[in-house]
Amino acid sequence: MKVTVLTGGVGGARFLRGVVDVLHPGDVTAVVNVGDDVEVLGLAVSPDVDSVVYALAGLADEERGWGRADETWNALDSAAAFGGESWFRLGDRDVGLHLVRTQALRAGEPLSAVTARLAAAAGIETAVLPATDDRLRTWIETPSGTFSFQEWFVARGHRDPVKRVRFEGSADARPAPGVLDALLEADAILIAPSNPFVSIGPILAVERIRRALERRRVTAIAVSPLIGGRAVKGPAADMLRRLQGGTTPAHVGESYSGLIDALVFDEADAAGTDAVSALGVRPIVTHTLMRDGASRRRLAEAALDAVAVA
């Protein structure tokens, strides 16, 4: 079975590891958010692409939850000592990847091409595709002003309530090479338990990607990022409350209106099952906390079981 997974960074990457464990890694394609991309100290950083690459290559720091294992911070400390910006944490090992990417982009190589090279160098068989090679950036409107995604998320600690999310460049953004084919040729489409607004939202803001999902001929299954109405980490619950009116599985399902056939959510949210059915979406209730390899695989299996049944 060939599967295409729409994903953000850390939460999505965890799920993706489960999916590639259950299937053959070469039968999986990851379509990754680029709305978080940011330039730091002159370096082109793609945090969600990097989280996916590090996770699939077994290089991720599982305790910290982002970045690379065995990381040190000398370059950033030195930059700060010389008066450089240090609000965005870049580790020494991580910087190596950003140097390669930045050089390639400056030389005119598309993000998808350099990402494929990085993934191959890391020994990854799964196709890792940025949603678009075009510039697409997430902006967050709050009562205190409008901020770029990373300024809101990292520098301001995602404390400002979100009034609206905007995707700069989405009107002109084309799917990166391979993305539409991956959606058309897949036997199933999965949406990882990533933040619906700021991780999956920017992917779906690419018109032709959204249309491919709307016109899908295969089952599309989303996994909720909420457990007991709360995010495992990050602002997803706050955003669902403000932008979708609540944190039940049906609210998660509504954020993917017309795009999914089934929604996997946690037993802690089982009270919301009927409301999901009422949306015309098949509810799949299971344990969704990914603590280790076994729980990641179980969640991937629960989502893939829905393909067979739907």
CB of 164 to ligand GDP, least distance (A): 18
Among 5, 8, 68, 124, indicate the residue that binds Ca ion (CB under 5 A). Answer: 8
Across the chain, how many H-helices and E-strands are there?
13, 14
Sheet holding 3-7, edge to edge: 127-130, 28-32, 3-7, 188-191, 219-223, 262-266, 282-286
Tell me if 50 contacts Ca ion by CB under 5 A. no
d(C-alpha 2, C-alpha 154), whole Å: 35
- Nearer to ligand GDP by C-beta: 234 or 283? 234
Element (H, E) at 137: strand 137-142
Region class of 228: left (phi > 0), else alpha (psi between -120 and 50), else beta: left
Tell me the per-residue interface mask from 276 to 305 with ligand GDP, x by CB under 6 A, - otherwise.
------------xxx---------------
b/e sequence 141-173, b meaning 16+ C-beta within 10 Å: bbeeeebbbbbbbbebebebebeebebebbeeb
Spatial contact of 238 and 161, defined as CB atoms under 8 Å apart: yes
Say whether residue 159 binds ligand GDP (CB under 6 A). Answer: no
* Selected binder of Ca ion within 6, 12, 34, 48 (CB under 5 A): 48
> Which range binds ligand GDP by CB under 6 A, 24-32, 67-75, 165-173, 229-237?
229-237
Answer yes or no whether residue 212 interacts with ligand GDP by CB under 6 A. Answer: no
Contacting range for ligand GDP; rule: CB under 6 A; set: 137-145, 204-212, 214-222, 225-233: 225-233
Scanning 2-10, 78-86, 185-193, 255-263 for contacts with Ca ion by CB under 5 A, the matching segment is 2-10
Q: How far apart are the first and last CA of the chain?
A: 15
Alpha-carbon distance 227 to 159, whole Å? 21
Nearer to ligand GDP, 109 or 148 (CB): 148
Determine the size of the site formed for Ca ion (CB under 5 A). Answer: 4
* Residues found near ligand GDP in the complex (CB under 6 A): 7-12, 14, 48, 51, 192-195, 199, 224-225, 227, 231-234, 236, 288-290
